[in-house]
Chain A
Amino acid sequence: MVNLTIDDKQVTAPKSATIYEAAKINGIKIPILCHDKKLKPFGACRMCLVEVEQMKGRQIPACTTPVTDGMIIRTSTPDIIKARKMVLELLLLNHPIDCPVCDKGGDCDLQNLTYEYQVNANRFSDEKFHHEIDYSNPLIERDMNRCVLCGKCARICDEIVSFGALTFISRGIETKIGCEFEGSLNCEFCGSCVSVCPVGSLLARPFKFKARFWALTNQKSVCSYCGTGCNLTLGVKDNKVLTTVYDENQGFHNGQLCCRGRFGYQFINSDKRLTTPLVRKGGALMEASWDEALELVATRLRGAGASAAALATPRLTNEELLLFKKLMEAAGSANYDHSAGYAHAALTKGFARSFGATASPSTILDIQKSDLLLVIKTDSYETHPVIGFEINMAVKNKGAKLNILSDKRGKLSKLPDAKTFVHTPGSEIAVINSLAKAILDEKLAAGSAVSIPGYADLEKALAGFTPDAVAVQSGLSAAAIKQLASDYAKAEKALIIFPVGNAYPGHNADMASAVANLALLTGKLGTEGSGVLCMAEKNNSQGAVDMGFYATSGLQAGQIMDGCASGAIKTLFLAGENPVVSYPNRAVVTTALDKVEFLVVSDLFMTETAAMADVVLPACSFAEKEGTFTSVDRRVQHIKPAIRKVGQSRTDFEIFSTLIAKLGGQAPAAPAAVFGEIAASAPGYAGMSYAALGETGAFAPVDITPAFVVPKTVAVEPAAGKLALVIGSVLYHNGTLSQFGEGPMYVCPEGYVELSRGDAAKLNVAENDLLNVTSAAGSTKLKARISSRMPEGVLFSPYHFGAAEINRVWSGAPVTWVTVTK
């Protein structure tokens, strides 16, 4: 810490601080246009000029000047105010005075400073700019006439998002911010540039002209898409969520969001929302009263026993999941599951046996503290983009090494010095095993590893996984495997990151155990910057696991579907889940749902699954309810309602508690009471309360009892003449919910199949050709997308789209072998 004087006030500041930061920490406001706390100092706008006595009273920019001991700084002498006024006059020289029609009016730094400094007239005169305004983009409007060249947009796109879509073009008075070849914006549409723009140059089109900033009520919340647990501020007016508001002080990510977090909120006020309960009468779904619908459901559940089953989306709150479990217990059934027991077996089974806990021992904050990141699947950027930003920053700012093990290349592969090891699909567990083998062979294992139970068995089991043997089946070279192993083992702090979810069938319990073995072997666990981060798919996937909402004594999701088909399950309750689209093997799922006697669906929308139901209950979105969500790294966060409930919709909490009451049970009155129960019973949640969670949430600690487990590997036999189809997530979507968010749908409106240039040439396929993709399970038609990131012989298709019907082809195997014809 250094001591200094700012405006005659004795203050202290960290050694690394700039004058601007030192003043900010001590509550002294220095006006600035080009600064954001996430970005590196730039010194472009000249608004933050201050006088430093030691520098002969010269005016220097506060944002780029580091503090030194004994500095005497004045931030608002008459000379400085005069200088700042002139800076504003010069900026306003070219800036159009179109505040009444500019959407930034009321939230504009330039407008506020102009008012604060009383710049009512301009001593200079010049022509305004006449740049063409880019309206071509459905999400981001660019009006460079209003630009003050602070460079924040270009810097955030480069430093944090690592896309580099925007940059300075030309020099001197001609300087402007533009895209490549002065074209239109074509990026990943995270909207970070929009969020930091101090003026109205970059605007969010979905919010365009909707309201003035001051008319919005801001409600802090948590994003309901992926498991990162990003904090959001919802801008609400007239009971509608109109936008997400940027707040640089929010969350670990400092307000940074991805495309779906920033532009995917529209599903909350969608016209397509279900507003009344529907009951099937004479073959058609007819509007009914809540009483009638719930009575019908209760009758079916009463004493149903094992003939009833439930599947929930991991988008419900912890409280709702616990209540749902209680409801099924009241009905006498242990058949309940969410994707955790099914697609998140890595957590429920893999980590449980390897770590003795069902959660990742590392946190997102470890990413930037690590020396080496081993990312399994490049998709981890696409499933959890804000964690991707953390990876970007760790690599670019902190010098972390990045090794990627994936079946295709992706955005992370483009980061500086990133090494991508592209293996054949389905061989990931074998490769990880061979890494462990190489570590053992090279004597790079930590001394403590021998004492962990299962060491001898593992050593024996790994005998067959020599790098040379695995090289043949994985398509990697033995040298590459050895290199990857020694890189990982020799790094002081190393973190393994891998996504799991509905579309990652290979990322199962065995994968988790294989990964855990690596960390345990090298002792890279339990210390800051080291460990394993398993990223479950949905916003509350980890919560669903923590609440125990997965099959322990009852049937798993897949078995429940089989039970429906065989007639063993007679009543199925789906809360927010849309298995027709998101589960593999659509034909099997639809047959099962057709066969089941009584299907209840509570959802926001008339999904493909809800359309098959006997009773449809309109549920509430996250913006209308209270409860807690748990992020992938077990950060428990509290959400509060931002708007009133839409139509007659009810929260799942209310639905479940009414049903419990109808079954003769007693449900807790409010989510707060249930959270009390959770705090008392769920491991790691002890001592938590809503009040203590506050705005930042609380971490539920993870206790680890390590053990080596021999992971099973499945040999994936290549099929002659066929291509390997891998399923996954795209950057803009998450599950099937984002199909109802206009933002994501503007950018990525439909399913597709991505193939390499080589395969495209062989098959004589051009971009956007309609292809028949056929597997043993079925066939579908998809548009072709040709990219250089795919290795030859591998196809990729996202699974989010109901209309694309990729799950007719995809059977749930780690790799589906398909033929492609035009």
Chain B
Amino acid sequence: MNPITPIINGLKITLSHLFKKPVTLQYPTERPKVAQRFRGLHALNVSHNKAKCVACYLCPTVCPAKCITVEAGEDANHDKYAARYEIDMLRCIFCGYCVEACPVDAIRMTGEFELANYRRQDFVYSKERLLEKK
């Protein structure tokens, strides 16, 4: 092959890009659209003004990273509810098994990906923080 041809081919590609819309996003002024199936920060679903979670302990059981802590409590009607629900995002591997295991559709994964923080304790998401996500 002519040794010049590959160089020309390469330059063609470069040249064509000069006339295309750039792929770079001007983050944070421009924000990406995350896919429906993206596995971001967890959220606890709400029904009848309270978390749907019944503290069945299936998510901490299935979690391969052992990052979920659930403690069940008994409410005034003797029903089971999650008195404590915590996810340690420093350990979480966003596998989504917790969502899959949940028998009552109480947990889902949101598109939220901006999880950087300054202190380790800020990575521990309590029930209150997980419920804030709509």
Contacts and interface: CB of A to CB of B under 8 A. Distances in A.
Do they bind each other?
Answer: yes
Given A100-B103, A101-B79, A211 B74 contact: no
Given A209-B55, A209-B72, A209-B74, A214 B80 contact: no
Given A101-B54, A209-B80, A215 B61 contact: yes
27 contacts: A99-B56, A99-B103, A100-B54, A100-B56, A100-B58, A100-B103, A100-B104, A101-B54, A101-B55, A101-B56, A101-B79, A101-B80, A133-B78, A135-B78, A208-B74, A209-B55, A209-B72, A209-B73, A209-B74, A209-B80, A210-B72, A212-B57, A212-B61, A214-B61, A215-B57, A215-B60, A215-B61
Contacts of A212: 57, 61
Contacts of B104: 100
Interface residues of A, number: 13
A217 to B, nearest CB: 14
A227 B54 CA distance: 42
A215 B80 CA distance: 18
A99 B72 CA distance: 14
Contacts of A802: none
Nearest to A205: B74
A41 interface: no
Interface of A: 99-101, 105, 133, 135, 208-212, 214-215
Contacts of A208: 74
Tell which of A101, A105, A133 has the most Cβ of chain B within 10 Å.
A101
Interface string B91-125: 00000000000011000000000000000000000
B78 to A, nearest CB: 5
Nearest to B102: A100
A687 to B, nearest CB: 46
A606 B78 CA distance: 34
Interface in B54-96: 54-58, 60-61, 72-74, 78-80
Contacts of B55: 101, 209
A661 B2 CA distance: 91
Most buried by B among A101, A209, A212: A209
Chain B: number of interface residues, binned into ranges:
10 to 19
A209 B56 CA distance: 9
Candidate in B54, B80, B103, B104 with the most chain A CB atoms within 10 angstroms: B80
Question: Which 9 A-B pairs have CB atoms at the shortest separation, nearest pair first?
Answer: A100-B56, A209-B72, A101-B80, A212-B57, A101-B54, A100-B103, A100-B54, A135-B78, A209-B80
B63 to A, nearest CB: 12
Nearest to B73: A209
A99 B97 CA distance: 19
A135 B73 CA distance: 15
A212 B72 CA distance: 10
Contacts of A210: 72
A100 B101 CA distance: 11
Contacts of A100: 54, 56, 58, 103-104
Contacts of B73: 209
Given A100-B103, A100-B104, A211 B57 contact: yes
Given A100-B56, A101-B79, A212-B61, 7 more contacts: A99-B56, A99-B103, A100-B104, A209-B73, A209-B80, A212-B57, A215-B57
A183 B80 CA distance: 25
A214 B60 CA distance: 11
A211 B60 CA distance: 11
A133 B77 CA distance: 11
A105 B101 CA distance: 15
Nearest to A141: B78
A209 B80 CA distance: 7
Contacts of B60: 215
A100 B70 CA distance: 13
A105 B80 CA distance: 13
A133 B79 CA distance: 12
Residue among A208, A210, A214 facing the most chain B CB atoms (10 A cut-off): A208
B93 to A, nearest CB: 20
A99 B60 CA distance: 16
A444 B57 CA distance: 67
A205 B74 CA distance: 11
Nearest to A100: B56
Given A100-B104, A209-B80, A105 B56 contact: yes
A135 B74 CA distance: 12
A100 B61 CA distance: 13
A214 B79 CA distance: 21
Contacts of A135: 78
Contacts of A209: 55, 72-74, 80
A135 B55 CA distance: 20
Interface string B29-60: 00000000000000000000000001111101
A105 B61 CA distance: 13
A166 B67 CA distance: 43
Contacts of B78: 133, 135
Nearest to B72: A209
A702 to B, nearest CB: 49
Contacts of A215: 57, 60-61
A329 to B, nearest CB: 49
Contacts of B56: 99-101, 105
Nearest to A213: B57
A682 to B, nearest CB: 46
Contacts of A211: 57
Nearest to A98: B54
Nearest to B58: A100
Most buried by A among B56, B61, B79, B104: B56
B72 to A, nearest CB: 4
A108 to B, nearest CB: 13
Contacts of B80: 101, 209
A69 B31 CA distance: 81
B81 to A, nearest CB: 9
Contacts of B57: 211-212, 215
A11 to B, nearest CB: 38
Nearest to A135: B78
A208 B60 CA distance: 18
Contacts of A99: 56, 103
Contacts of A133: 78
Contacts of B72: 209-210
A101 B74 CA distance: 11
